[in-house]
Structure 1
Amino acid sequence: MYTTIQKWGNSQGIRLPKAILEMVNLNENDTVKLKVEDGKVIIVPTKKHVSLKERIAEYEGEYQPQEWDTGHSVGKEV
C-alpha cells in the first residue's frame, strides 16, 4: 500500500488507511511510538492505559516481594 507525504502545518504527515489501522487495532487519538531502524520508519502502538481497578482484577496472587540489591554503599547513605 502506498501513500504520500503531505504538508501539515509546519510539519509533514501521512494518512494511514483505515484497513491498516484495523489490522493493528489503532484508533483516532491513540498514542504511538516512532522509531527508525535500518533507515526505515517504524510506527509502534503503545500500550493502552490500564486503570488500577483493571490491574487488581487481573492479579492472581502470585507475586512474591523480594529485596532489591542495588550494590555496595558508595557514600553516607547507610
Structure 2
Amino acid sequence: MKVNLKKWGNSHGIRIPEVVINEMNLNENQRFNLTVEEDAIALKVEENQKNLLRQMFKNYDTNQKSEEFDWGEPQGKEVE
C-alpha cells in the first residue's frame, strides 16, 4: 500500500487508510510508539492504551447484585 508524506503545519504527516484503521481497530486519539529501523519507520500501538477498557474493568464482578438506594426527599425541582 502506497501513501504520501504531506506538509502538516510545521511537521509532516502520512494518512493511514481507513481499511488499516478498521483492520487494527484503531481510534481517533490512538497513541503509538514510533521507531526508525534502518530504512523503515515502525508504528506500534502504545501498549497501555491497547486494552484500556479491559484493564479498567478487569476486577469487575459481573455477578454483583445492585440494591436500591434511598437518596432522601427531593431537595429542588426534581419533582414538580
Considering only aligned residues, what root-mean-square deviation do their CA atoms show, in Å?
1.7
> Alignment partner of 1:21: what SS?
helix
Q: Which residue of 2 aligns with 1:41?
A: 41
Q: Which residue of 2 aligns with 1:23?
A: 23
Q: CA deviation at 1:38?
A: 2.7
Cα distance in 2 for partners of 1:6, 1:46 equals 24
> Alignment partner of 1:20: what SS?
helix
TM-score (norm 2): 0.60
Q: Which amino acid aligns with 1:16?
A: I
Cα distance in 2 for partners of 1:43, 1:4 equals 16
1:1-78 equivalences in 2 (<5 Å): 1-47=1-47, 48=49, 49=52, 50-51=55-56, 54-57=57-60
TM-score (norm 1): 0.62
Cα distance in 2 for partners of 1:44, 1:18 equals 17
Larger-gyration structure (1/2) = 2
Deviations 1:8-64 (A, max 9, x none): 00000010000011121112111111111232101111232232xx13139xxxxxx
| Structure 2 stretches lacking a partner, 5+ long | 62-80
- Moved segments of 4+, more than 3 Å: none
Aligned residues: 56
| Structure 1 stretches lacking a partner, 5+ long | 59-78
